[in-house]
């Protein structure tokens, strides 16, 4: 990847601001850069607060998509999950109605300002709406201590959880939680998300036996090949998730999910419903609970419609250069 001239990337770069249906991470639009290349388009969308070192992994992923290409798939479609935000129980049915045919739901819990009773009511509403055969997973985004997670998961286990995603913040806490759950006879597997994608050493999760499942995202790990290596080296089942991507970024997530030798769980790639705009005319959204692999090509009219102002493009150009300066260190370490 280091053979490319950074100015070549900047020259072809398009920067867009895609409107979001609801505020996310304090913003109402998703700003990303897109690069064309001989293998298609790559998406570079580290969140605005990310420093160059972390952003360099996202740039490696974008370059891989546009200039290297992905491994051959072993499946032609990928099952996906619905996502239920931390809404009131009475709103759950309306949220799930957007995901026709989906038989897995990820439910947000441990929301700041809410109570465990809110989580219990929300998960109960999901189980009632989806029926006894649906899979339900909860995502705490590291919001619980080990003691809080033990109590919460002991209660939520009554609804038949597929797993709990990042119930605690640190790898050590995840390890201790797994031990505590087993000791108390609470049968809820633990999944690691932030402990994989934001870690300097994502393999610590496996070494410390801190998770039963890992959640992987293409861009934060540096591309499809790097993510495949992480999954192989941990030896744990993987779920592929998005990072609030346009269809270009979702296609990279599908490339990873389609190339995994083993894929036992629905993936978190049905997130384009969070947007009020996209860069392609036919967005990569699920049909009957899955998304089929196909190529995507940004529409020039949509690129123009959502184009960021010139001063934002200049900001992104500097950001690409700063991330690129660190790219060889990431690729070769």
Binding-site residue ranges: 139, 165, 193
Alpha carbon 255 to chain centroid, angstroms? 13
- Pairing, β 135-139 against β 104-108: parallel
> Which residues neighbour 152 within 8 Å (Cβ) at sequence distance 6 or greater?
109, 110, 116, 119, 140, 144, 167
Strand order in the sheet with 213-216: 82-84, 104-108, 135-139, 161-165, 190-192, 213-216, 238-240
- Cβ(64)–Cβ(228) below 8 Å: no
Active-site residue, from 14, 106, 175, 217: 217
108 among known catalytic residues: yes
Using only C-alpha atoms, what is the Rg of the chain? 20
**Where is the binding site for Mg(2+), in residues?**
139, 165, 193
Residues 322/25, Cβ–Cβ less than 8 Å: no
Among 34, 9, 128, 74, which Cα is nearest to 262's?
74
Q: How far apart are CA 181 and CA 154, in angstroms?
A: 8
- Dmax over CA atoms of the chain, in Å, equals 58
* Contact indicator for 154, 183 with CB cutoff of 8 Å: no
Task: Please confirm, yes or no, whether 106 is among the known catalytic residues.
Answer: no
Q: How many CA atoms lie within 13 A of 73 on its CB side?
A: 17
The secondary structure of residue 72, as a DSSP letter, is P
Residue tagged active-site, from 30, 67, 108, 127: 108
Among all residues, which ones are annotated catalytic? 108, 217
């Amino acid at each position: 990847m280091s053979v490319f001239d950074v100015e070549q990337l900047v020259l072809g770069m398009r920067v867009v601001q895609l409107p979001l249906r609801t505020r996310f991470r304090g913003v109402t639009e998703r700003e990303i850069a897109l690069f064309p290349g001989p293998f298609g388009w790559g998406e570079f969308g580290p969140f605005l607060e990310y420093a160059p070192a972390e952003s360099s992994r996202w740039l490696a992923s974008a370059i891989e998509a546009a200039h290297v290409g992905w491994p051959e798939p072993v499946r032609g479609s990928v099952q996906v999950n619905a996502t239920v935000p931390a809404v009131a129980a009475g709103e759950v049915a309306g949220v799930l109605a957007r995901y026709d045919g989906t038989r897995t739901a990820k439910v947000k819990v441990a929301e700041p300002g809410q109570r465990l009773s809110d989580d219990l009511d929300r998960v109960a509403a999901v189980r009632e709406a989806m029926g006894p055969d649906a899979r339900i997973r909860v995502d705490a985004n590291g919001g619980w201590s080990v003691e809080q997670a033990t109590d919460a998961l002991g209660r939520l286990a009554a609804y038949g959880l597929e797993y709990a995603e990042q119930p605690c913040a640190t790898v050590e806490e995840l390890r201790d939680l797994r031990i505590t759950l087993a000791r108390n006879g609470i049968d809820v597997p633990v999944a690691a998300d932030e402990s994989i994608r934001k870690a300097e050493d994502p393999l610590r999760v496996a070494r410390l036996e801190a998770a039963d499942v890992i959640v992987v995202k293409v861009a934060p790990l540096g591309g499809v090949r790097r993510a495949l290596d992480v999954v192989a080296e941990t030896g744990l089942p993987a779920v592929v998730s998005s990072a609030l991507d346009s269809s270009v970024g979702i296609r990279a997530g599908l490339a990873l999910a389609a190339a995994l030798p083993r894929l036992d769980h629905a993936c978190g790639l049905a997130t384009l419903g969070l947007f009020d705009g996209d860069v392609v005319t036919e967005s990569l959204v699920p049909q009957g609970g899955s998304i089929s692999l196909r190529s995507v090509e940004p529409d020039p009219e949509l690129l123009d419609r959502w184009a960021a102002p010139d001063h934002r493009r200049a900001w992104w150009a500097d950001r690409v250069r700063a991330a690129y300066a660190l790219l060889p260190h990431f690729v070769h370490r």
